[in-house]
Amino acid sequence: MSASREVSPLSIRDGARNPGMPLELDWVRELRVNLSAVERRTGTLGTRRTVKKEWQAAWLLKAITLMDLTTLAGDDTEARVRRLCAKARQPVRRDLLQALGMPDGVVKVGAVCVYHQMVPAAVAALEGSGIPVAAVSTGFPHGLSPMDQRIAEIKASVAAGAHEIDIVVTRGHVLRGDWQALYDEVRAFREACGDAHIKTILATGELAMLRNVAKASLVCMMAGADFVKTSTGKESVNATLPVGLTMARTVRAYAERTGYAVGFKPAGGIRLAKEALLWLILMKEELGIGWMQPELFRFGASSLLGDIERQLEHHVTGRYSAQHRHPIA
């Protein structure tokens, strides 16, 4: 896969939604990934670039606006979802924002991500905020329920008010190299979503090799995905920088070939502010500043926000605070 070069989404299709394209198997089969080069490239992200002081604070505030603030626990309740939505509306304490010179109400998360059952509670709690609700559907996290049930779950989430649907692809299609089956599956999910945007979760930790990650990403984009997403957060290996680099370069290749910008969402295991900075550096260097917007980049995050808020407090006061001073839900 080619080295980094910036592609401006502002110059392609004026931000139009990716409609997909016919499946081009020759393009899929010719994809190659140089593992050593990918690992070497990602290994230098944190050493070649640094972001310090007020610039770091600005980047961390930016990271907050790119978060899908998430709760996907078996003991989720409507009360927990309402607390999470309150945090989504006001993710950083007002005194810290004032000290950073940020007006109240400017910094808010990109979306709130919940199970289907919690969509109505999230929609009600976020009314008037402009923050969309994302629902995980299609038998999350394994994606092995019958197809008609997965389609019905998508439609039910959209009917309940979800603006974004995070679907799970069938990993077996990827591992068998059955790209037509993967394409048809994602195409059906896209149709069921209607106007709601679709994020395709690849569960990259279960795809065996980076070449499979690249091919699955490309097929999902051909099928009309609005975002490609690394993980459910439930796998033993979730978002890693080599996977992120592979997916970002596939996104770039698709944009260059078709003129449509597709979003990217790393999810699972991103817990620290310094990790968020590495992902932002990767996006800036591989896809450019234009991709660092909520429409084209999201973090799947549950505990990340707490650490970012701690780092912002340290920037303001010079002291680190305890975790419990920055509750999420």
d(CA 296, CA 298): 7
Find the DSSP H helices in 198-269.
210-222, 241-258
d(CA 188, CA 180): 12
Tokens of 53: 């002081």
d(CA 99, CA 109): 20
**Separation of first and last alpha carbons in the chain:** 41
User: Quick check: 299 and 267 in contact, CB under 8 A?
Assistant: yes
Catalytic positions are 166, 229, 265
d(CA 64, CA 181): 36
User: Quick check: 316 and 96 in contact, CB under 8 A?
Assistant: yes
In DSSP terms, 111 is beta-bridged to: 68
C-beta atoms surrounding 195 within 10 Å: 7
User: Quick check: 139 and 98 in contact, CB under 8 A?
Assistant: no
Tokens of 241: 């920088």
d(CA 249, CA 287): 8
Length of the chain: 329
According to DSSP, residue 140 is labeled T
